Structure formats: C-alpha cells, structure tokens
Amino acid sequence: MINLELPKKLQMAQQMSHQVAATVFRPIARKYDKIEHCDTPEELIPLGQMIKGMGGDGKKPESQSGGRASDAVNNGANMMQVLTTAEMSWGCIGLMLSIPGLGLGNAAIQAVGTPQQKERFGGLHCAMAITEPGCGSDSAAVKTSAVLDGDEWVLNGEKIFATSASRGDAVVVWATLDKSKGKAAIKSFVVERGTPGMEIVRCEDKMGLRVSDTAAIVFTDCRIPKDNILGSAEIADTAEARKKAFGGVMQTFDNTRPPVAAMAYGVARAALEITKELLQKEGIEFRYEKSIYNSTAIQAEVYRMEAELEAARLLILKAAWMADNKQPNSKQASMCKAKAGRVGNQITLKCVELCGSLGYGEELLLEKFARDSKILDIFEGTQQIQQLIIARNVLGKSSSELK
C-alpha cells in the first residue's frame, strides 16, 4: 500500500522551511536580485549559524530511521532535503543557495568521501567545480589534472560556473589523474579557500539567481594534502572496475539532482500560487469537480499546470525515498530532474503570460521566478542529458552504446 503522508518530523521541517522562505527570503528577494556580486547577504548569516547548530551542516547521517531494520521503510536525510529545499525555493532560490554553510560540494563529500573525510570536511561550506571551457554536459571529458608529488596533489586547470566558489570555505574539484585512462581516472578533490595556486578569476553576470555567486576558477600548480582526494586514489584496471569507479563519482549527481528538481518545483509552485490569487481577484473560479473540457481556457491551463507540478513532486519524492532506502536511483533522479526542470520553467513563463503587465513588471516576483527557473533545467545535467540517461537505463545500454 502506498502511503503518501509525510511523517510528523518531516512535516515540522517543511513548515519551518516555509516560514523561513516567507519571513526571511521573500521580503529581501527583490533587493538582492538587483545587487549582483555582493558579499553573503547579512540577513542569511544568523540563518546559516542556526542551521549549523541544528546539525544541518552537510554531515548527512546514514539513516534517520531510528534504528529500524535495514529492510524497513526509511524517510531520512534525502527526503528531508528535498522537502526543505522545495519550501525555501518557494521564497527565493538564489538566497537559499547563498546560505552560509550549505553547498553542492557537500553532496560530493557525502557520496564518495571516507567517514574520516565526512567528519573533517562535513562542516565546511563546499562549492563544487566540474564544468570546464569546452566540457559541459560530458563530465568524462574533464581536463583539469591532478598529479601526486610526494605527500601532495598538484592541480592544474580551469573551472567555470562553480556555484558559491567565491564565498565558500572550500571547493570540491573534479580532476583527472591520467587523461589516457578516461573516466575511470576522474576523482574529486577538496581544495580549501586560500590555498596558493587557486584563483577566483571572475564572477559571472547572470539572467537569474543573481544573488548566488557563480565563479570561474584557475588552478596553477595548486598543492593540496594527499588525503584531500575523496575516496580512493586507485585507477581501475578492468572495464567493469572502471565503470564501477566512475559510477561512484557520478553518484554525486544522483544525490544532487532530486534537490535541484525540488528547487524547480518550489519556484513553479510559488509562481502558480500568485497567478491563481490574481486570477481569483478577477473573478475566475477554480472548480475541480468540473471536467477540464467544461472549463474556460484559462481554467484548463491552470489545471494542466497543477497536474504537471504534482507529477514532478511525486517523482522527486520517489527518487529521495529510494536514496534513503539505499536503492539505486540514477534513473529516478534523472526522471525527476528532467520533469521538474522542464515544467518548472514552462509554468513560471506561462504565469508571466497569464498575468500580463503584472507578470512582466517588477511589482511582483513573477518575472524573477521565470528568470531563476531557467537554470534549473540546465545545471546538474541538461534536459537532453537527463533524457539520455533515462533512455540508457530503460534500454539497458551503456554510454558507449547510446550517445
């Protein structure tokens, strides 16, 4: 029997996150949308300290099931993350991504780090640097190199579009140990802020998420301790072992795609709620007992958007639930990211259209929500890449067989 009710513990976290979104994010969202390349918003500093004090500093527990048997149904850290992310994104995605102490790099540490590394780096605010000039969706094409020299790794290369890299305590960098060995040689490294040889060369001007910094980084003979490599430094020597090794690296995306999908869900829900309120003020009623075929064009449009949004929500919950229950969720993570990323952008744009001048102007946040939503269909894997991953899973094809 499927139970779609959330446990009380998760409901409380969801409600607290919504309160933060409503009372902290929404009132200052427009202010920081107009201030790009600022320092961490001062209003977020006590919020980051509070989250860290509550244990939300990136140290993700193995399970929050209260010690139940391994075959029990668990709703743990992954479910908590997508629920709270969706609620805070209802307020402002850019501000949520700017909270001190939280970063996408923390997901990589939890995915492939050793217990000691999770303890050592889990409390840091870690950005993640994967994308390079000429290397976007194809993560296996990473050119940034890491060479072991005594007790240190030496990094050389360039990274772009690294979220929170200029504000974070550290950056998780993807680099190759040996370009000739292909994707099996790609590893993750933690480079702490202030390390000689790592330079933030610019912060990007962007269409959306303007308060969230997006930086380009250059590594020039950047030396880091030998134990700053996440997981093992060994390069697999068989085809099966190479596939497994890169699969461990790619598990990072299985952890981060559902929260990104939750961001898309949250901002689309926010836009749809505002739109419905405006339409109701104009005398348009929403009567769900009537068939969609007996509704006006505007009513039918809203009903379809609500249905698409609910489908995205259920896919997100399934992907998170599978992660909490130690089930492989690569296909489901891509499905929820593809669905939510696409419909999130479609819904926010349609809401701008339905609300006319109010939607397009700055009196409301609708046009901001539309701008913010576009990146959610791009980063953490584009719509096209998600569909390719899903197709490989459904058809049982490898990356070499289906490109």
**Model pLDDT for residues 32-70, shown as the tens digit of each residue:** 999 888 888 999 988 888 877 665 554 554 443 333 445
pTM for this predicted structure: 0.89
For the cut 70, the answer to whether the pLDDT of residue 237 exceeds it is: no
pLDDT in tens, 92-132: 999 999 988 778 888 788 878 889 998 899 888 899 999 99
Could you confirm whether 380 is annotated as catalytic?
A: yes
Average pLDDT of the segment spanning 171-178: 94
CATH architecture of 125-236: Beta Barrel (2.40)
For 232-249, give one letter per residue: b (16+ CB within 10 A) or e. eeebbeeeeebeebbeeb
Fold matches, 125-236 and 240-395: no
The CA radius of gyration of the chain, in Å to the nearest whole number, is 21
> Half-sphere exposure of residue 361, counting CA atoms within 13 Å on the CB side?
6
Tally of CB atoms within 10 A around 138: 12
Which of the residues 87, 132, 367, 380 is marked catalytic? 380
DSSP, residue by residue, 203-245: E---SS-TTS-EEEEEEEEEEEEGGGBSS--PPP-SHHHHHHH
Q: For residues 71 and 360, give the distance between their C-alpha atoms in angstroms, rounded to a whole number.
A: 51
Q: Provide CATH code, domain 240-395.
A: 1.20.140.10
Domain extents in the chain: 8-112, 125-236, 240-395
pLDDT in tens, 314-336: 999 999 999 999 899 999 999 99
CATH 3.40.449.10 applies to domain 8-112: no
pLDDT in tens, 182-208: 888 889 999 999 999 999 999 999 999
- Six token digits for residue 37: 């390349």
Residue 251's region, left for phi above 0, alpha for psi from -120 to 50, else beta, is alpha
